[in-house]
Structure 1
Amino acid sequence: MKRRVNVIGVGMTKFAKPGSSPEYFEMAREAGLNALKDAGIAYAEVQQAYAGYVYGDSTCGQRAVYELGLTGIPVVNVNNNCSTGSSALYLARQAIEGGLAECVLAIGFEKMERGALGSKFNDRIPPMDQHVQVMMDAQGFNSAPPAAQMFGGAGREYRWQYGTRRETFAKIAAKARVHASNNPFALFNQILSVEEVLASEDVFDPLTRFQCCPPTCGAAAAILCSDEFAAKHGIKNAVYIAAQAMTTDFASSFEPRSMIKMIGYDMTKDAARQVYEAAGIGPEDIDVVELHDCFTANELLTYEGLGLCPEGGAEQFIWDGDNTYGGKYVTNPSGGLLSKGHPLGATGLAQCTELVWQLRGTADRRQVEGARIALQHNLGLGGACVITMYRKD
């Protein structure tokens, strides 16, 4: 029988612009110590660690975790593009659930460079060559940042299919800034109007600059444990993982030549299906969602992929205000990647941190009233999608 997995400690740093952050291991130390303090345990109690990052040498995970202590425990380095933090969480959850450990640390960090993401290894075929080929066949390639072309192209395909207004995408960015204005950990917390979002420079239709997440530096961490460990340490009513699933690309990512499919829509849809079935809970029961809004186009598509609204219904969902306070769901109360920032290795664990705070009722001015069930969606092209459902009894 699978064991319940509790999240007893979370922590994160305030995210920062590239060039203004401490070293990666210093950020990891801050996040890790915050998580340990939150859990009320010493690092010596941790039996395994999974360390996520995308940009760094091969044992950066050890260098980061050594800041917390030198206890000889296994440290596994994890790299799964933008879903790296949630992939580390996924592995930590498996270790507890399978009875291999009683207490595990998942930690993610990133020290990023300025500007758009690019390849670091130019002497070999890149791992996303099949994704790029879909884009080349579907829409060609221009001088815009490649990720913006991919997600912007998916948004454009959706617009052509459903006649969606450009203002609809901009409303997502404006909503993110309102939410972020209540989050002291967010990088960008100045409120923007829909008109200001649309007036920012064009990146790739329908995306403008304020509809694209910024490269960011930061760290986040979570401490997971079994029921037995929690009882031993007097921890009661912890937030726990009700279900979790990871999917990678299906054949539909590459055939037919659809930008929406290529950027992971079917990964999201299938992972959500698995989570709902495993938890016995449908999307209608969710209170709060942290989803992967690297671009406004992806947030819009993810509403449908997660079943928060019917396919083709995202525009009505947005204009009805069903994605924010007072509506059906509160999506990205943290401000999301668009406003909180997106340090690739830390993002999934920062989402976890926000949702644990929400379920504990400690999210201050951005608290979702009565939140009991939370859903996390973290997507990495190349690809991997991790969806996690959290509950509080």
Structure 2
Amino acid sequence: MPSRVIVAGVGMIPFTKPGACEPYDVMGATAAVKALDDAGLHHSDIQQAIVGYVYGDSTCGQAAVYRVGMSGIPIINVNNNCSTGSSALFMARQLVESGAAECVLALGFEQMRPGALEIFWNDRPSPFSRFDSIVADLLGQDAPLALKYFGGAGKEYMDRYGAKPELFAKVRAKASRHAANNPLALFRKVVTDDEVMASPMVFPHVGMTRLMACPPTCGAAAAILVSEEFARKRGLDHRVAIVAQAMTTDRAEVVEQPSLIGLVGAGMTRDAARQVYQRAGVGPEDIDVIELHDCFAQNEVLTYEALGLCPEGGAEKFVADGDNTYGGRYVTNPSGGLLSKGHPLGATGLAQCTELVQQLRGRAEARQVEGAKLALQHNLGLGGACVVTLYQRAA
């Protein structure tokens, strides 16, 4: 029988701007130690480690884990673009659930450079090459990679449903209100809808302002996953379990029926969410709190619909009614999300995990979602991979 997977410990460090952080191995080791301390475990208890990062040389994971302790365990390095952290979590969960290991570290970190994301390996085919040609045909405007994809998807949404850029401004302003209560968030200043709209334009063709985009960020986060038997045997906190999880990649329809919304992962999200709901025997209406991949305010709007939180084309009413924040149907990104907390690519999925575990433990302080029992995590990487994870608090 598959083992019930418990999140016994979580840890993260405050995210910072590029140039203001410790080296990646120090950040990673610090987050891992925080997760071990939270779980009440020693590094010698870890049987395997899955480590995620996007920008770095091979075996950077070893460099970080070795700082915690060199115990000879298997260490596997993962790179799945912006979903790297949750890809590490996905692999760690499989190891524990299958019985291959009883105690696994999932660790993610990123030491980023200032400015837009870029491709470093220009002497070989880009993993985005077939997608780039579709984006060029559909959008007809050039811009840095992420702006082009997500800004274009936002424009397609506005054209399809008659929404205005002010919808995305409301989402960004909501993120800032949540982040004001998060000491680990990079940006904690509350901004208004008008201030978001008045910030400098980074992609005028699609109405995207600077505040609608997440910043390049450095940081690290970690989680300790254990079997329920291990948790009980060691007297660990076993209140929070992963009850369903799915990883999806793109289907042929993204190239056969081109859509910018599809190219940024709406289909992958929809598939992964459907699998998770079916496996857990719940629906989106049962979820209490959500950390979703808001790399741009535009993507948060698309994700509301892909996760089934509101009908297609219904995001404007969903946001206007306050159903994405405290007092509404769901609390989305109580941490402040990527827009305010920051987005160190390899760490993001595990930072989302950290927030949701603290919410289900009732330890999120001023951000606490009252009575939270079911928490949903959504982490997306272009190219592509999407991981959706459902956590449950023990009764």
TM-score (norm 2): 0.98
Q: Which residue of 1 aligns with 2:87?
A: 87
Deviation at 1:149, TM superposition (A): 1.1
Q: Which residue of 2 aligns with 1:134?
A: 134
Contact 2:9/2:38 (CA < 8 Å) preserved in 1? yes
1: CA distance, partners of 2:151 / 2:302: 11
Deviation at 1:334, TM superposition (A): 0.2
Contact 1:31/1:221 (CA < 8 Å) preserved in 2? yes
Q: Which residue of 1 aligns with 2:197?
A: 198
1: CA distance, partners of 2:285 / 2:302: 17
2: CA distance, partners of 1:141 / 1:33: 46
Deviation at 1:236, TM superposition (A): 4.6
Deviation at 1:181, TM superposition (A): 0.3
2: CA distance, partners of 1:135 / 1:203: 18
Instruction: Report the residue type matching 1:37 in the other structure.
Output: D
Q: Which residue of 1 aligns with 2:369?
A: 368
Q: Deviations over 1:97-145 (max 9, x none)?
A: 0000000000000000000000110101101111111101101232x32
Deviation at 1:301, TM superposition (A): 0.3
Moved more, 233-242 or 368-377: 233-242
Contact 2:151/2:298 (CA < 8 Å) preserved in 1? yes
1: CA distance, partners of 2:197 / 2:129: 32
Q: Which residue of 1 aligns with 2:253?
A: 252
Deviation at 1:237, TM superposition (A): 3.9
Deviation at 1:252, TM superposition (A): 1.6
Deviation at 1:238, TM superposition (A): 2.2
Q: Deviations over 1:310-340 (max 9, x none)?
A: 1110110001000000000000000000000
Q: Which residue of 2 aligns with 1:66?
A: 66
Secondary structure of 2:105 counterpart: strand
2: CA distance, partners of 1:207 / 1:146: 14
Alignment of 1:156-235 (within 5 A): 156-204=155-203, 205-235=206-236
Instruction: Report the residue type matching 2:147 in the other structure.
Output: A
Q: Does 1:310 align with 2:288?
A: no
Q: Which residue of 2 aligns with 1:53?
A: 53
Q: Which residue of 2 aligns with 1:282?
A: 283
What 5-or-longer segments of structure 2 have no aligned partner? none
Q: Which residue of 2 aligns with 1:147?
A: 146
Contact 1:254/1:261 (CA < 8 Å) preserved in 2? no
2: CA distance, partners of 1:236 / 1:358: 14
Contact 1:283/1:307 (CA < 8 Å) preserved in 2? yes
Deviation at 1:173, TM superposition (A): 0.4
Contact 2:39/2:237 (CA < 8 Å) preserved in 1? no
Alignment length, in residue pairs? 392
Contact 2:4/2:227 (CA < 8 Å) preserved in 1? yes
Contact 2:52/2:79 (CA < 8 Å) preserved in 1? yes
Q: Which residue of 2 aligns with 1:13?
A: 13
Q: Which residue of 2 aligns with 1:301?
A: 302
Contact 1:253/1:263 (CA < 8 Å) preserved in 2? no
Q: Does 1:108 align with 2:105?
A: no
What 5-or-longer segments of structure 1 have no aligned partner? none
Instruction: Report the residue type matching 2:177 in the other structure.
Output: V
Q: Which residue of 2 aligns with 1:389?
A: 390
Contact 1:272/1:387 (CA < 8 Å) preserved in 2? yes
Give identity over the alignment, percent: 63
Q: Which residue of 1 aligns with 2:273?
A: 272
1: CA distance, partners of 2:372 / 2:355: 12
2: CA distance, partners of 1:269 / 1:389: 14
Q: Which residue of 1 aligns with 2:122?
A: 122
2: CA distance, partners of 1:106 / 1:270: 24
TM-score (norm 1): 0.99
Contact 1:169/1:206 (CA < 8 Å) preserved in 2? no
1: CA distance, partners of 2:372 / 2:33: 26
Instruction: Report the residue type matching 2:372 in the other structure.
Output: A
Instruction: Report the residue type matching 1:333 in the other structure.
Output: P
Secondary structure of 2:256 counterpart: coil
1: CA distance, partners of 2:249 / 2:391: 22
What is the aligned-residue RMSD (CA, Å)? 0.7
1: CA distance, partners of 2:389 / 2:101: 20
Instruction: Report the residue type matching 2:361 in the other structure.
Output: R
Q: Deviations over 1:231-258 (max 9, x none)?
A: 1111254200010000001112222221
Deviation at 1:358, TM superposition (A): 0.2
